[in-house]
């Protein structure tokens, strides 16, 4: 009887140790994931996004959030006649970077910087942005309107591609909180160069209510040089701990190369693993598969 009782106690102790070990392992894995600079792309919303030396100003800007938002909205209405939605405010060394998206069409992501002085005052009167940053992002949105049917072809293709292969794009929250890449979707963004779309920008600034049909009509006489437009397609492996799949990348690359009816431009194609850096939203690593500069896929 005593022997049986003792064996029962030992068994119970072993079970307890095993359960405790399992709990400790789970807790350790959780801590390791939280400490890791990377996160699954499916989980990333950009909430951890930071800019260098911006922690102090991040707190100051957040404390004056309404002032930042109203100042940013007023700036865009006055200078660009554009209604915007503020998606994220991130402290930087000299102030705060404000990530916004336009409301309505043309649709684009962009940013401005709002200064914070040495007395910790947020200064909406000093809002600025990099030269032609906003203008280029507006043009990117106009480009998407001009090529609406071809953009739809690209969207339909990529929507089907991710259904057929174990790959995903960015969450919408992620690029809205961290990107200033003009016309942007979960799977790609569009960068414009040169001055070919300047007349369309002028048209927009003189009348932001201009209908897309007007841009489309005006563009019929325009020859689109592919070198002036870069369409960057970037996908991620769906599963954790999976290297970028060469066969999937080759299929994506070959499809884009042979497809007709795509927007004109230089195409960059990128396939990453499943992880993205939390604080800087970088996704490309040593194992990333990429085709781009100087070997773009050219579509006329």
Which tens digits make up the pLDDT trace of 179-217?
A: 999 999 999 999 999 999 999 999 999 999 999 999 999
Domains in the chain: boundaries: 55-129, 135-299
Going by DSSP bridges, is the β-strand pair 265-272/289-291 parallel, antiparallel, or unpaired?
A: antiparallel
**Does residue 244 have a pLDDT over 50?**
yes
Q: Residue range 34-51: average pLDDT?
A: 94
Cα–Cα distances in angstroms (integers) from residue 131 to residues 111, 115, 122, in the given order: 12, 16, 22
**Does residue 5 have a pLDDT over 60?**
no
Separation CA 27–CA 278 (nearest Å): 21
**Does residue 236 have a pLDDT over 50?**
yes
Please give the backbone phi and psi of residue 106, each rounded to the nearest 5 degrees, phi first: -65, 145
SS (H, E, C) 210-267: CCHHHHHHHHHHCCCCHHHEEEEEEEEECCCCCCCCHHHHHHHHHHHHHCCCCCCEEE
% of the chain exceeding 90 in pLDDT: 87
**Does residue 12 have a pLDDT over 50?**
no
The whole-chain average pLDDT of the chain stands at 92
| Cα-based angle 40, 165, 243 (whole degrees, multiple of 5) | 50
**Does residue 8 have a pLDDT over 60?**
no
Are 151 and 263 a contacting pair, CB within 8 Å? yes
140 contact partners, CB below 8 Å, separation of at least 6: 106, 108, 181, 182, 183, 189, 190, 191, 192
């Amino acid at each position: 009887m005593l022997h049986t009782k003792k064996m029962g106690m030992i068994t119970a102790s072993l079970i307890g140790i095993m359960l405790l070990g399992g709990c400790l392992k789970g807790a350790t894995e959780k801590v390791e994931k939280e400490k890791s600079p990377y996160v699954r792309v499916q989980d990333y919303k950009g909430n951890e996004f930071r800019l260098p030396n911006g922690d102090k100003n991040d707190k100051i800007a957040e404390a004056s959030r309404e002032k930042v938002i109203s100042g940013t909205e007023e700036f865009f209405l006055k200078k660009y006649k554009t209604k915007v939605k503020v998606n994220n405010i991130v402290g930087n060394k000299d102030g705060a970077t404000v990530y916004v998206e336009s409301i309505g069409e043309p649709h684009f992501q962009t940013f401005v910087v709002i200064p914070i002085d040495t007395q910790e005052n947020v200064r909406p009167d000093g809002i600025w942005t990099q030269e032609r940053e906003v203008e280029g992002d507006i043009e990117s949105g106009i480009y998407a309107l001009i090529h609406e049917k071809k953009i739809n072809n690209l969207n339909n293709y990529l929507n089907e591609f991710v259904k057929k292969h174990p790959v995903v794009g960015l969450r919408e929250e992620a690029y809205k909180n961290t990107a200033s890449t003009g016309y942007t979707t979960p799977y790609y963004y569009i960068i414009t160069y040169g001055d070919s779309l300047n007349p369309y920008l002028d048209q927009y600034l003189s009348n932001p209510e201009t209908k897309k049909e007007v841009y489309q009509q005006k563009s019929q006489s325009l020859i689109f040089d592919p070198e002036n437009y870069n369409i960057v397609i970037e996908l991620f492996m769906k599963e954790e701990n999976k290297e970028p799949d060469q066969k999937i990348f080759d299929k994506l690359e070959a499809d884009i190369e042979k497809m007709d009816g795509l927007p004109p431009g230089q195409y960059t194609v990128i396939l990453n693993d499943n992880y993205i850096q939390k604080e800087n939203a970088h996704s490309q690593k040593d194992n990333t598969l990429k085709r781009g500069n100087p070997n773009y896929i050219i579509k006329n």
